[in-house]
Amino acid sequence: MFIFPTRALVRRTALGVGAAVSLTLPAVAIAGPAAVAHAAGSSPIPAIRQALKGVTSYRADGSLVGTGNAVTQLSIISVHKGNVAQIHATITQPSSSGSAPYSELIVVGPRYCARQGAHARFVCKTDAATASSVAKQLDLLASFNTSAAAADSYAPTAAKTIGGQACDGYTIIKRSTKQSTGTLYVAHGSNLPCQIVSKSSNSSSGSNNGTITFSHYNDPSLTVSMVK
């Protein structure tokens, strides 16, 4: 089972001397795309991977509900121009006191900036290796091009219209428990991911539910501007 995100979406991104940003999110289990069963005996992953080759930009919006019903909101814009990754992510994660800490990350090529608070100043650094690592963690569609997902089983389920797009549904069934842990929706015709809906529960962390919706594929209006 692919876990989105891990306990830290971007864990301690170093920004200058002694500075860091920690963007922690509740662990939410979602579809392991490498093991999805598309129809009787076939997988949609080859078609998804082929479709993603033509994607130069997209938007991902998520609402993640963790223990205690704390809701984390996530929004990511990803744009690729040639081999240059450009990503803008905003995360609002309620704290135990009820406040809503705001975090923002911008990556353009080898440069990345981050801030804690909508009115705080960005701290920026040029470090190609770290910028690449951060970009990979924030590029949610990249998971469909990996083989890291565990081999759970998937079964066709009811279709769903998401953002005006007809999307085929696939129930995720955890191999060890034979229980459903969520649903993956794939756009009918284009084979692009529409949405991932997750529901999981365990005795130590309570229930974790999440919805990640993908949209605006190859939309020229999507842009990422680096902080000056």
The pLDDT profile of the chain, 228 residues, written as one tens digit per residue, is: 233 443 344 443 333 322 333 344 334 444 444 334 444 435 677 787 889 998 999 999 988 776 667 788 889 999 988 888 899 999 887 766 655 588 889 999 999 898 888 888 898 999 999 888 888 888 888 877 765 343 556 778 899 999 999 999 887 776 677 776 778 898 999 989 999 888 765 544 444 578 999 999 999 999 998 787
In the chain, where are the structural domains located?
3-215
Task: Return all residues near 59 (Cβ < 8 A) that are at least 6 apart.
Answer: 75, 76, 77, 78, 214, 215, 216, 219, 222
CA distances from 198 to 12, 119, 171 (A): 26, 32, 10
Architecture of domain 3-215: Clam (2.50)
The dihedral sign for the CA sequence 39, 43, 46, 48? positive
- Neighbour count for residue 194 (Cβ, 10 Å): 23
Q: Check if the beta carbon of residue 62 is closer than 8 Å to that of residue 74.
A: yes
